[in-house]
Amino acid sequence: MNPSAFPQESLLSLIRARADLSSPGPSQFEDLYIDAETAGRKGERLIHFRYFFDEDGFSQYDRRIGLTGEARLTRAGLITLVKLELTSVGVGVVWNPPTALRTTKPG
């Protein structure tokens, strides 16, 4: 995948909106890992990713949120979330996940 052609900021915005998270503020951090890319129908690309948000990177308690998901990128450059799952929640997290993400049990 050509990194310059991938709309990373658009994907981050979609993830934050679906997970009810804001852009990272002071002492907050986020990481997006693109794990795989597969060719879809009609020239689309299916992107498999992991996303981590740390509510307080300097806290002595684990305040990380982990999500995995898939996004579809069309040839026109439009990106949509196909799947987003909650995979981990640290013991010190104060974030209240949206109901749609509560259906999966974090590990």
Would the pLDDT of 107 be above 80? no
pLDDT digit string, tens, across residues 43-60: 899 999 999 999 998 889
pLDDT (average), residues 10-37: 93
CB-based burial label for 107 (10 Å; 0-12, 13-18, 19+): exposed
Question: Is the sign of the CA dihedral 78, 21, 31, 67 positive or negative?
Answer: negative
pLDDT at 4: 46
pLDDT (average), residues 73-85: 89
Domain range list for the chain:
3-101
Average pLDDT, the chain: 87
Would the pLDDT of 30 be above 70? yes
